[in-house]
Amino acid sequence: MLRKMLLTAAGAAVVAVAAAVPAFAGGTNGVPPLATPPEHVVQVPVSFTVHNTNQTPVPCAADGRTYTVRGHIVAPEGALDHPDAATLYLHAVTLGEYYWNLDIPGYDYADQQARNGHVSVIIDRLGYGSSDKPAGAGTCFGSEATVAHQIIGRLRAGDYHTDAATAAKFSRVYTAGSSVGGLIANVEAYSFHDTDGVINLSWGDVAATPFTAAQTADVVARCLAGGDPDTPGYATFFDNARDEFYFNSAGPEVRRAVPPLHVDPCGQIESVPAGIAADVLHLGEIDVPVLVMFGSADAVFGPPALAGKQEAARYVGSPEVTLDMIPDASHYPLFESRHLQVVSDIDKWLDRRPS
């Protein structure tokens, strides 16, 4: 019944909204700073030229235009001279690449993984932060997965713009996603079979809570009306529910430092049901190792322990599925008191991958 509520609310909103690029497009004003890399960690700006098309089983529309996705490679010093593996990180709604490297002491995930020997590629997805911003109806989760596929290919080929002397070529690329970023990672994996592993942080497909259903109905109504007042074609998911959405055990310094909710493209919001339907049909086709991670106090999918088990059990084609529950954590464990367990557990999972 909860899933039917989610599908009905969002499915009714698959309509064309504003065709013009929102007034806030372009530039980096207001983009939160990333953590300053410590000694022996490098943080290199990168950008990827991508074509916003949909080549996945998710039936949703994309505008077909060419855009630039921007972000950073965060790596151990010297690792880019002899590249091996990298992980592409895809953020959730309302966030940006800064989720993976917060400018808060001790919460700089990508820097911490660099100190563990891992290379992270953190980006603002299309419509967010420093990346280009299509019209709100011009992007969806099928096109987001296709864009991720293009970025994976460019990381393997060294075909991207970088401030480094040369663009490193990575022989292995893993894909990690937070919330809908996990949905995008799923769709990319079974559509293109080009990733070496999937890390799903808190995406549960068919386990939405009443809280999520109500928030979905609210944002869909705003998208039907053309978007939020100052951002045509874009609306903020979980508007006025930031604390319940973001936090459980986070301390006051983190709650103060985390930026306000980011506005989201309506085309992505409206394509959630299509993405879920594609996952229901195709999730079992993912044939690489998978790590599923849920916070025990997730307000978005629940009950969290059951949602995690249900999601992990559906990767039937994967040779190895690991379920990891993070105590006292919300939908966003990297904000929470046990965030270092997230760093440690992903570090160990990546270390187990064959070289």
Is the predicted pLDDT of residue 17 greater than 50, yes or no? no
How does pLDDT run across 99-152, given as a tens digit for each residue? 999 999 899 999 999 999 999 999 999 999 999 999 999 999 999 999 999 999
Nearest-angstrom CA–CA distance, 52 and 143: 6
Looking up tokens 């996952």 gives 279
Written as six digits, the tokens of 234 are 């874009």
Q: Are strands 234-235 and 264-265 parallel, antiparallel or unpaired?
A: antiparallel
Average pLDDT for residues 52-73, to the nearest whole number? 98
Contact 54, 148 (CB under 8 A): no
**What average pLDDT does the structure give for the chain?**
91
Cis (ω within 30 of 0) for the bond into 37?
A: no
Cβ-based neighbour number of residue 27 at 10 Å: 9
Average pLDDT for residues 240-249, to the nearest whole number? 96
| pLDDT at site 30 | 60
What is the domain partition of the chain in residue ranges? 2-351
Domain 2-351: top CATH class: alpha beta
Cβ-based neighbour number of residue 294 at 10 Å: 30
Nearest-angstrom CA–CA distance, 45 and 42: 10
Q: Which helix (H) or strand (E) holds 85?
A: strand 85-90
Nearest-angstrom CA–CA distance, 121 and 343: 15
The CA angle 40-42-43, to the nearest 5 degrees, is 150
How does pLDDT run across 250-304, given as a tens digit for each residue? 999 999 999 999 999 999 999 999 999 999 999 999 999 999 999 999 999 999 9
Is the predicted pLDDT of residue 29 greater than 90, yes or no? no
pLDDT band at 165 (very low <50, low <70, confident <90, very high): confident
| pLDDT at site 22 | 36
Q: What percent of the chain has pLDDT over 90?
A: 88
Nearest-angstrom CA–CA distance, 126 and 234: 12
